[in-house]
Amino acid sequence: RELTEKMNEAAEELQFERAADLRDRLRAIQKLGTRQHVVAGAFAELDAIAFVQGQTRACVCVLHYGGGSLQSKEYTLFHLTGGDPAEVLSAFVKQYYAQRGAAPKTVLLSHEIEDADAAGEYLSSLAGRKAELAVPQRGERRVLTRLAEKNAYEEIERREKQSERRHKSLELLQSVTGMAALPLRLEAYDISNFAGQDTVGSMIVFVEGQPKKSDYRKFRIACAANGQDDYASMREMLTRRVQRYADGDEKFAPLPDVFLIDGGMTHAAVAEKVCAAFGLHIPIFGMVKDDRHRTRALTTAEGHEIDLHADPAVFALIGQIQEETHR
């Protein structure tokens, strides 16, 4: 767990060589762990499933055993607390194996579930033979469900710490830019073309510090059909984006807490004019690149630059957003 935290921190701070070294060490330890959790031949094909709840979310962990050793792990997280384990696990088991279309010989659970007999019959129909559904109380089987519980707790802890780091980065971004509200939804825009033709615009969205790809949009730019004009292209893209929101199109709702425009003060000024035409007052910043094509600063439409190097967390966040926009 400590290595994972250090690896994530190094990656966020763009210390990629250190992150890679930590990754390799982590993989070596994980291989040792896999060898240690070998089960008896009688349990050579089984799944151990556990449901646990943390402070802000719950998790179901599935450990897949095959050939007598741990093959893989799967996690499903829920934003809920206080759920009945019997009810949650019952619904999960049915949906999980229905999606897989198959079931192992044995499924071990951390808690009793509702309609256990019916669930066992369903698993048997998927497995094409008698499948065992059990809630072990002692012995080696109980060790496996406890291990699933341990993995679920650690995954919740890891996710909660990641969420805390992302939230802290947003707070720092708000502080350095002077935004009145925490920028929970960020939208970033860029224009691209192929040899001056086939101009397109990209709109990417980050919500609470991570990409929300279902909200991404790509625009075919009409105004640049006769030649390259990045400013006119940006104006068209942003106008179409805001107009779709104004027209009540749910695919373009809500508006962001901040617009990030790939380019300098002139690009930011174009965005400000578009927002002003719609009567909107949304913070707008241009993303200024260095000679290595990485964002080194944010700029306002008036040319006030905000250096990002002073805060590695903000630098990493904006860098990630810019890379995703370019991609």
- Per-residue pLDDT tens digits for 75-98: 998 876 566 888 889 899 999 998
Q: What is the pLDDT of residue 145?
A: 94
Residues 155, 4: Cα–Cα separation, whole Å: 11
| Long-range Cβ contact pairs of 137-144 (< 8 A, separation 24 or more) | 140/39, 140/40, 140/43, 141/43, 141/108, 144/39, 144/43, 144/46, 144/48, 144/63, 144/65, 144/108
Indicate the range of 107-116, 179-188, 290-299, 317-326 predicted with least confidence: 290-299
Kind plus residue range of the DSSP H or E element containing 23:
helix 16-36
Q: What integer pLDDT is reported at residue 31 of this predicted model?
A: 66
**What sign does the dihedral 193-218-252-187 (CA atoms) show?**
negative
The pLDDT value given to residue 224: 60
Q: Would you tell me how many other CB atoms lie within 10 Å of the CB of residue 321?
A: 22
DSSP-derived secondary structure letter, 38: B
- What percent of the chain clears pLDDT 70, i.e. is strictly above it? 92
Average pLDDT, the chain: 87
**Angle (CA) 187 190 221, round 5°:** 110
Q: Is the pLDDT of residue 62 over 90?
A: yes
Share of the chain above pLDDT 90, in %: 48
Q: What is the pLDDT of residue 178?
A: 93
Q: What pLDDT sits at residue 68?
A: 72
Q: What is the pLDDT of residues 273-282, one digit of tens each?
A: 999 999 999 9
Q: Looking at residue 40, what is its pLDDT?
A: 46
**Where residue 225 falls among pLDDT bands split at 50, 70, 90?**
low
Q: How far apart are CA 146 and CA 39, in angstroms?
A: 14
Q: Are 239 and 204 in contact (CB under 8 A)?
A: no
pLDDT of residue 196: 63
Taking residues 35-55, report their average pLDDT: 70
At 198, give phi and psi (nearest 5°).
Answer: 50, 50
Q: Average the pLDDT over 144-151 and give the result.
A: 94
